[in-house]
Amino acid sequence: MKFMKKGISNITDSISALGITVLLIGAVLAAVTIAYYLLNSTSQVTLLTSVISETRNLRNSDGYGTADYVPALVAGGSIARNYNVTNGKIYNKSGGLITITGNGLGFIVVDNGEPQRDCVKVAKSIGTADMASTQINSTTITGEVTAADAATACVDGNNTLTFTTKS
């Protein structure tokens, strides 16, 4: 009888250990999923910040004109390798096209195809008082974009963000 009791005890301990392991694996997967979504929207902000900064380095003495600055950014290696650059075009993490064109003394960055959760974060982070204007879909905001402004203008689905710089 002692032998059987010890066997049942080992089986119960094994099942308990297996249950705890399954719960831990589930918790790790949940944490990775949450981290992915948080890092993805942070990555969008980093990409656009980098694009704006690198484009400012390409300014001519008379401004930006009306040129397309994407080829110069791609050829100059200004876009980090962890971002999607295909056929000389820059794509955001959601697969939307990013364009950069001169606008006289400033330039315009258009970020297409942003989901709502990223739209709010990107609009609030990039749409600072340093911008001449920020357009979210059809809503134009001059000056700083607040969280309330972004939440109102960003829609469920794909959003287009247009940032116009002062210089």
3-class SS string, 68-81: ECHHHHHHCCCCCC
* Residue 1 scores a pLDDT above 50: no
The most confident of the ranges 22-26, 30-34, 109-113 is 109-113
Tell me if 163 sits within 8 A of 126, measured CB to CB: yes
3-state SS assignment for residue 55: helix
The pLDDT > 70 percentage for the chain reads: 86
Question: Which of 78-87, 99-108, 140-149 is predicted least confidently?
Answer: 78-87
Mean pLDDT for the chain? Answer: 87
Question: Which of 11-20, 80-89, 99-108 is predicted least confidently?
Answer: 11-20
Q: Identify the domain containing residue 70 by its residue range.
A: 2-165
Where residue 53 falls among pLDDT bands split at 50, 70, 90? very high
Q: What is the mean pLDDT of residues 7-35?
A: 73
Tell me if 13 sits within 8 A of 49, measured CB to CB: no
- Distance (Å) of CA 165 to CA 11, 41, 86, 114: 67, 22, 26, 20
Tell me if 140 sits within 8 A of 153, measured CB to CB: no
* Cα-only R_g, the chain: 24
CATH number for the domain including 64? 3.30.1690.10
Where residue 16 falls among pLDDT bands split at 50, 70, 90? confident
Q: How many domains does the chain have?
A: 1
Question: Which of 32-46, 77-91, 130-144 is predicted least confidently?
Answer: 32-46
Chain segment 76-101, per-residue pLDDT in tens:
999 988 889 999 999 998 999 999 99
* Residue 27 scores a pLDDT above 80: no
Which residues, other chains included, contact 17 with Cβ-Cβ below 8 Å and sequence gap of 6+?
none
Greatest Cα pair distance in the chain: 94
Token pair 């876009």: residue: 79
* Rounded distance between C-alpha atoms, residue 98 and residue 161, angstroms: 10
pLDDT the model gives residue 7: 59
**What letter represents residue 77's amino acid?**
G
Tell me if 82 sits within 8 A of 46, measured CB to CB: no
